[in-house]
Amino acid sequence: MYRIVITDKSGVDDFRCIDAIEEAMAKYGGECFFSLDPEDVTSCDGIILPGAPPDVDPGLYGEEKEPGCGVVDRERDDRRLAMIDAAVKAGKPMMGICAGLQQINVYFGGTLIQDMDAKEPHRYSPEYTADLRYHPVINIRDTQFHLLLGKSGIINSMHHQAIKKLGKGLIAGQVWLSETLTQEEKDEWLRKIEREEDGEFTGPCIIEGIVHKTLPIIGVQWHPELMFKAPVPGAVDYDKLFEYFAFLIRRTKCLKEG
């Protein structure tokens, strides 16, 4: 049995995301508990940062708060960032979901799109609680996402913020490309990502999944824990991500135990 700390059980959870994460990890021998105390990282085998409001404070990545940015809670941000810091220093496997991915990116020096405005495939609003949105994604070659999920697939979507500039050590493993792009433009975006060129991901390209180059860290902008509740034709195999996270935990424990 693995002990996994989840950094939040606060706020309104209309989708029951936390329950779904617990169920998903239990399938792979994970027992979850909740804490925002960095000291508890030492007694866990892995850490999950779930998606939950409020928005990440833009001051953490050197920007002023824009009108489209929602309510922020700097104290909670600081506590979650302290959990990430403790996990990184201890070499503990970490998984970020939605806002969790965004906080991991900010921890490593990245920035965020504060508000995606009305991008239809992505936009989250409370009235969507009974109807998740879906859109296609491309999994980047030679990344864990491609190995686990194949070339492409369908994912759910409910967010109004996203990664703008990747943090140090992070690479894009999964992206959404606008259908307004020509095939030539899509190919050029993919070449840029595969070459790991610096730059901002805005407009027609949104990062949906990240991995760290050297640390046992994976993050997704979408909600794999909810895929089994609302399956759609062509959807990616959400379960593979939780299985992979369990693998990271097992591998890390084996390496530490010699």
Q: Is 122 an annotated catalytic residue?
A: no
Number of Cβ within 10 Å of residue 194's Cβ equals 14
Q: Is 179 an annotated catalytic residue?
A: no
- Which one of the listed residues 44, 98, 159, 208 is annotated catalytic? 98
State the Cα–Cα distance between residues 143 and 156, nearest whole angstrom: 21
- Characterize 109-139 residue by residue with b for buried, 16 or more Cβ atoms within 10 angstroms of its Cβ, and e for exposed: ebbbbbbbeebeebbbeeeeeeebbbbebbb
- Which one of the listed residues 135, 159, 208, 225 is annotated catalytic? 225
Q: Per DSSP, what are the bridge partners of residue 46?
A: 4
> 149 CB contacts (<8 Å, ≥6 apart)?
139, 174, 236, 237, 240
| H-run or E-run covering 25 | helix 17-26
State the Cα–Cα distance between residues 137 and 173, nearest whole angstrom: 10
Q: Is 98 an annotated catalytic residue?
A: yes
Token output for 94:
């970490």
Complete DSSP assignment for 153-212: EEEEE--S-EEEEPPTTEEEEEEEE-TTS-HHHHHHHHHHHHTT---B--TTEEEEEEEE
Residues assigned a catalytic role? 98, 223, 225
